[in-house]
């Protein structure tokens, strides 16, 4: 039977109702592996591997021994309890022995859990599991976790339910991070909050979130947007010493001002516009950019973007002027423009 993951997860969690087989397939190997781990834990419990109730094999094993899956499903261990056989990296080349084992399944046999990459609708392996009344076929898509799943991940990390502002930032993180990175980030936040009973704040999430931009570069962008022209030469000197190319700096500056422009143009206001930004803007940086968007206004931001587009074209041409000096002049010009606006 074809099922979506939330429905399949509920079915696996029901005691005494384990299916004969479960096929998990999708393009993202990490997402498929995480779902496979969740499915195995739901089917046989966390101690199954130590109690030898969970057997693993590569699909390549079936080439040399087509009966290996059937034998593993019927094998009995020393410990009582439900059993599962996990076959990883299956393709249509392994469909025949896998589907044969599924067809031979009887009550008391282990559940067959099969993982695969992307399978087309005409795939023999996929069609076999979808047609079987005692099996589930689940396509794992690259969608961010929903509210229920995100709440479960937060609880699994040992965090208390966050407030609306913190939850909004975690939701934004979930849209841009891989599942594994999201779990690591939540674990990092939980470690950061260990022994601290105060509510989780957006600033704490920002402190633990993966860095998307170097601190020196971030400081230079804020200085230009807030009219702090005097701090720019020192910041740019450090960026140049770190090997940041002028074109890279120009691209980052343009991206920063495009985000400000989108925030200023949003009908719901800068806060709503920044909430839609990708990658997400967190904590104090978000509040700072909200102020910048209000100070600049839509017209001045369009003027700044025009300056940056012209600068980018000049940097990519055979311009005789030193590139970093050109960028310093442009950032100071933007800072002076911000002062006049403020």
User: CB of 254 within 8 A of CB of 308?
Assistant: yes
User: CB of 256 within 8 A of CB of 221?
Assistant: yes
pLDDT computed for residue 104 by the predictor? 92
Q: Which domains does the chain have, with CATH numbers?
A: 2-139 (3.40.50.300), 147-208 (no CATH), 215-341 (1.20.272.10)
pLDDT computed for residue 215 by the predictor? 65
User: CB of 91 within 8 A of CB of 64?
Assistant: no
Q: Could you tell me the CA-to-CA distances from 250 to 245, 291, 311 in Å, in that order?
A: 9, 22, 8
Q: pLDDT digit of tens for each residue in the chain (342 aa)?
A: 899 888 898 888 887 778 999 999 998 888 899 899 999 999 998 888 888 899 999 999 998 899 999 999 998 878 888 999 999 999 999 999 999 999 999 988 999 999 999 999 999 999 999 999 999 999 998 878 888 889 989 998 999 999 988 898 888 888 777 788 888 899 999 999 998 889 998 888 888 877 654 567 888 999 999 999 999 998 888 888 878 889 989 999 999 999 999 999 989 888 888 888 877 777 778 888 999 999 999 999 999 999 999 998 888 877 667 889 999 999 999 999 988 754
Residues 6 or more apart in contact with residue 257 via CB below 8 angstroms: 225, 301, 304, 305, 308, 334
Of 225, 219, 188, 179, the closest CA to residue 206 belongs to 188
pLDDT computed for residue 213 by the predictor? 43
Q: Could you tell me the CA-to-CA distances from 76 to 19, 48, 51, 88, 151 in Å, in that order?
A: 18, 13, 12, 21, 37
pLDDT computed for residue 191 by the predictor? 93
Question: Is the pTM value of this prediction over 0.85?
Answer: no
87 membership: H or E segment, kind and range: strand 84-90
Instruction: Please calculate the CA angle 79-83-88 and round it to the nearest 5 degrees.
Output: 130
Count CA atoms closer than 13 A to 255's CA, side-chain side: 15
Of 242, 286, 240, 245, the closest CA to residue 263 belongs to 286
How far is Cα of residue 50 from the mean position of the Cα atoms in its chain? 31
């Amino acid at each position: 039977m074809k099922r979506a993951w939330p429905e399949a997860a509920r079915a696996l969690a029901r005691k005494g109702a384990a299916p004969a087989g479960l096929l998990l397939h999708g393009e993202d190997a990490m997402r498929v592996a995480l779902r496979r781990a969740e499915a195995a834990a739901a089917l046989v419990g966390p101690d199954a591997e130590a109690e030898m109730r969970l057997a693993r094999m590569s699909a390549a094993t079936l080439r040399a021994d087509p009966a290996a899956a059937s034998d593993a499903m019927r094998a009995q261990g020393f410990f009582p309890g439900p059993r599962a056989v996990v076959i990883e990296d299956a393709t249509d080349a392994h469909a025949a022995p896998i589907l044969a084992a599924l067809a031979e399944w009887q009550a008391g046999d282990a559940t067959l859990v099969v993982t695969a990459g992307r399978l087309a609708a005409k795939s023999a392996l996929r069609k076999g599991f979808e047609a079987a009344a005692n099996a589930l076929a689940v396509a794992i898509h690259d969608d961010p976790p929903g509210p229920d799943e995100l709440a479960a991940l937060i609880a699994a990390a040992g965090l208390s339910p966050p407030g609306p502002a913190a939850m909004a930032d975690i939701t934004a993180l979930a849209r841009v991070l891989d599942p594994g990175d999201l779990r690591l980030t939540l674990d990092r936040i939980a470690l950061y909050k260990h022994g601290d009973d105060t509510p989780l704040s957006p600033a704490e999430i920002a402190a633990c979130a993966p860095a998307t931009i170097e601190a020196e570069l971030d400081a230079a962008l804020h200085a230009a947007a807030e009219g702090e022209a005097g701090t720019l030469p020192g910041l740019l000197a450090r960026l140049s010493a770190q090997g940041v190319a002028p074109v890279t700096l120009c691209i980052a500056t343009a991206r920063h001002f495009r985000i400000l422009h989108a925030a200023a143009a949003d009908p719901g206001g800068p806060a709503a516009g920044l909430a839609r930004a990708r990658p997400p803007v967190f904590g104090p940086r978000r509040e700072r950019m909200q102020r910048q968007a209000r100070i600049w206004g839509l017209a001045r931001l369009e003027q700044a973007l025009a300056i940056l587009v012209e600068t980018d074209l000049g940097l990519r041409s055979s311009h005789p002027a030193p590139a970093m000096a050109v960028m310093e002049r442009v950032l100071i010009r933007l800072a002076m423009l911000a002062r006049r606006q403020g």
